[in-house]
Amino acid sequence: MAAKKETLSYIEICNDIAKGNFAPIYVLMGEESFYIDQIENMIVSKALSNDEKAFNLTIAYGLDTDIRSIINSCRRYPIMSNYQVVILREAQNNKELDLISKYAENPLESTILIICHKHSNVKAGELTKTLKAKNTGIIFESKKINENNVGQIITDYVNSKGAKIDTKATAMLKDFVGTDLSRIFGEIDKLYLILPENNKHITPEIIERNIGISKDFNNFELENAIRVKNALKANQIINYFEKNPKSNPPVLTVAVLFSFFSNLLLARTAKVKTEQGIMDAIGTKSPYRAKIFTDAMKYYSTAGCVNIIGYLREFDTKSKGINSRQNEYQLLRELIYKILHS
């Protein structure tokens, strides 16, 4: 059985599953579907062979399912297998989940019940209360991925594989794939396979060589240049972007800058301007990110940040052809000029 801990991270759950340590009940809920799908797939592939699935895998859907039939399925014993797996998908469409609470008091250890409740959390009720009180299952909240936490997710996933990744390499990967977890983990898995066994370390050079992102001319380096008002470097990067438009669309650059200055404004207006205070204000666990914004505050005032956010919104309007005939890169140059002179 999985570790007796009320809340486990995605990586901790995956590690338990990989070792064959299953909980009798998994409640997988939240806005990020990727984690939910991955945990479900990993449990099924680890608990059951292809032959065992024919008799020991039950899949039902919330809208069409009587919860009593799910409970009856859970009370069956596996056939020629150590486990049977019962999956309730789209559980958010079923209003009777609390009926499972009685079964959750003393579930069969040979049954693994997976409740997939996407796009929202299971309401606190008898089921969640019983699982917490009896410690008979795992409640996992799959939180929405955003610009502020994706870097930590990349680092944690790389570390879980026994590897390391440089801060700049993390930023380059984030810049390239955004918040698409499927692509993030896919790219990391590919990089891991090509790394030598004695040096599992992802560097900017490895990212550049194997993914095709320039280690010197990217949105991470542009953000760094703008952060300290290095006009020469910023314009060199914009020139590179214009020559390589497919790899560097202005809309992505503006999204990165909008995130940066929105967070800088939060840092600037934080009540407590210590490292921890800034981390709390911008919603990050990374002291490195906090230092970035502490340094940037030397160059940009609160009023300057407000003006820049206005310029970024103006770019969005003009890039759609409203009140402007300039192309996107002309608009981007104009935007960078305004930012650097704010």
pLDDT, tens only, 221-239:
999 999 999 999 999 999 9
Residue 14, by phi and psi: left (phi above 0), alpha (psi -120 to 50) or beta? alpha
Mean pLDDT of the chain: 91
pLDDT, tens only, 208-225:
888 878 888 999 899 999
Q: Is the pLDDT of residue 2 over 80?
A: no
The rounded distance, in Å, linking the Cα atoms of 295 and 237 is: 21
Q: Is the pLDDT of residue 4 over 60?
A: no
The reported pLDDT for the residue numbered 6 is 55
The rounded distance, in Å, linking the Cα atoms of 159 and 15 is: 12
Lowest mean pLDDT among 3-17, 126-140, 223-237: 3-17
The rounded distance, in Å, linking the Cα atoms of 32 and 24 is: 23
The rounded distance, in Å, linking the Cα atoms of 328 and 320 is: 9
Helix (H) or strand (E) holding 59: strand 57-61
The reported pLDDT for the residue numbered 188 is 94
Q: Are strands 164-165 and 201-202 parallel, antiparallel or unpaired?
A: parallel
Rounded to 5 degrees, φ, ψ at 85 are: -120, 130
Identify whether the C-beta of residue 79 lies closer than 8 Å to the C-beta of residue 67.
no
In CATH terms, is domain 150-211 a member of 1.10.8.60? yes
At the fourth CATH level, the homologous superfamily of domain 10-142 is P-loop containing nucleotide triphosphate hydrolases (3.40.50.300)
Q: Is the pLDDT of residue 53 over 60?
A: yes
Q: Is the pLDDT of residue 324 over 80?
A: no
Instruction: Over range 50-69, report the average pLDDT.
Output: 94
Domain locations in the chain? 10-142, 150-211, 219-340
Q: Are strands 111-118 and 84-89 parallel, antiparallel or unpaired?
A: parallel
Q: Which CATH architecture has domain 219-340?
A: Up-down Bundle (1.20)
Q: Is the pLDDT of residue 1 over 50?
A: no
